[in-house]
Amino acid sequence: MCRRGGRGPSPGYSKGVNKAASPAPPGGQAARLPWVEERSAGGVIVDVHEGAARVAVIARRNRAGRVEWCLPKGHIEPGETLLETAAREVAEETGITGRVLAELGTIDYWFATAHTRVHKFVHHFLLEATGGELSIENDPDHEAVDVAWFRLDEVHQHLAFPNERRIVREAWERLAGNA
């Protein structure tokens, strides 16, 4: 799913497991699941085309099969910094290479797998496009079904998640010199 970076749990990047899950309460209710923490990175990659700033975003299918437009993001590889992860994930999922300019903010949320609750943190960065062409061919997980440029002043109309719209507003503010 877009909101959680399209990747399942990343055991190598979990800060810890809460093994203090309580036993099943009376009445047959299930025990609380243990939890892990995961981190991903991605961002808002901006290019200026015909005098207008535009942002590359990807589309993925949600669990119900509907297409959702979202910001490119993904898991941290061993030895990578958050900035390196953001640049790599944006390039893999959009085909556009970029240079990180600034940190935009972090989105966190919870989700559950069959055996674990996950507290996910997604770090977003502002990137300047430096090359490449739109493509989903290098997405290693083949989760992106489309990629497109949207004008920066219109991209919020396409993004599926309010938190990502907030990140794009922060990018707008940074580029306008108001942040």
Mean of all residue pLDDT scores within the chain: 85
Least confident stretch, 3-17, 64-78, 112-126, 165-179: 3-17
The model's pTM is: 0.80
Q: What's the pLDDT score for residue 33?
A: 87
Q: Compute the average pLDDT of residues 31-43.
A: 91
> Does residue 126 surpass a pLDDT of 50?
yes
> Does residue 152 surpass a pLDDT of 70?
yes
By 3-state DSSP, what share of the chain in percent is helix, strand and coil, each rounded to 5? 20, 40, 40
Length, in residues, of the chain: 179
- Give dist(CA 24, CA 129) in Å, integer: 52
Q: Is 58 exposed, middle or buried (0-12, 13-18, 19+ CB in 10 A)?
A: buried
Query: pLDDT digits over 139-148, tens only?
Result: 888 889 999 9
Domains and CATH numbers, the chain: 34-176 (3.90.79.10)
Phi, psi of 73 (to 5 degrees): -170, 165
- Give dist(CA 42, CA 126) in Å, integer: 9
- Give dist(CA 122, CA 5) in Å, integer: 8
Of residues 53, 54, 59, 62, the one with CA closest to residue 72: 59
Q: What's the pLDDT score for residue 4?
A: 40
Of residues 42, 41, 34, 58, the one with CA closest to residue 150: 58
Q: Compute the average pLDDT of residues 23-35.
A: 59
> Distance of CA 137 to CAs 17, 93, 103, Å?
35, 8, 27
